[in-house]
Chains A and B, each alone.
Chain A
């Protein structure tokens, strides 16, 4: 167990809808990263939050947005869902936004989103 919890574990949405995924980071961690893992592929970086500010973003459109709260938990929001958004969404926490600790990511088990 990593101490990183994600909810919901599974959900089904239809095209055009909006979804919010939630992540509680491991105790003592102030950095949360979100990744999208499509079937048969490796995780792709969406963005990272450090001390409630976005701290890096991957090649994802603006309809992917996020928040980090004072307790370091985080949300990933996706608007105007498309079929290609179907994937496993992984949250990972770490103890610093800097490079030294950034590789020590502790992953949750993911939220599997299906868009019909």
Chain B
């Protein structure tokens, strides 16, 4: 079965620090990859996605992620975080042959200190 691992469950950064959240998945075939974000008191929303093409994907609010197929990774990055980036971040994978379901990681809670 597919699985998604997120390296850190809690991350604390100061404003303007750089962010990298790790994500690895276990499936060896064709995958579609996603990062979702949940701000405090809000619903889950899509941050960015990779289906095909350029492995460096840019999303909303200055976030980007790089798909490295050889490492089965899809790490999320932001050069300079803001206090408003405080949220929980979920990496997810979809494998077409296993149906239209997303398999989520356990999430990383990011707290940005002002």
Contacts and interface: CB of A to CB of B under 8 A. Distances in A.
A4 B102 CA distance: 18
B13 interface: no
Interface in B69-102: 90, 92, 94, 96, 99-102
Interface in A35-58: 35, 40-45, 48, 55-56, 58
B51 A103 contact: yes
Contacts of A12: none
B61 interface: no
Contacts of A102: 94, 100
Nearest to B49: A103
A2 B106 contact: no
A39 to B, nearest CB: 11
Contacts, number: 67
Contacts of A45: 101-103
B8 interface: no
- How extensive is the interface on chain A, given as a class? 20 to 34
Interface of A: 2, 4, 31, 33, 35, 40-45, 48, 55-56, 58, 90, 92, 97-99, 102-105, 107-110
Interface in B15-74: 32, 34, 42-46, 49, 51
Given A42-B4, A45-B102, A102-B94, A107 B32 contact: no
Contacts of B99: 48, 55-56
Contacts of A104: 46, 49
Given A42-B90, A109-B43, A103 B102 contact: yes
Contacts of A35: 102, 104
Contact of A103 (B42, B94, B106): B94
Contacts of A31: 100
Given A42-B4, A42-B90, A103-B51, A2 B43 contact: yes
Contacts of A99: 32, 94, 96, 100
Interface string B100-114: 111111110000000
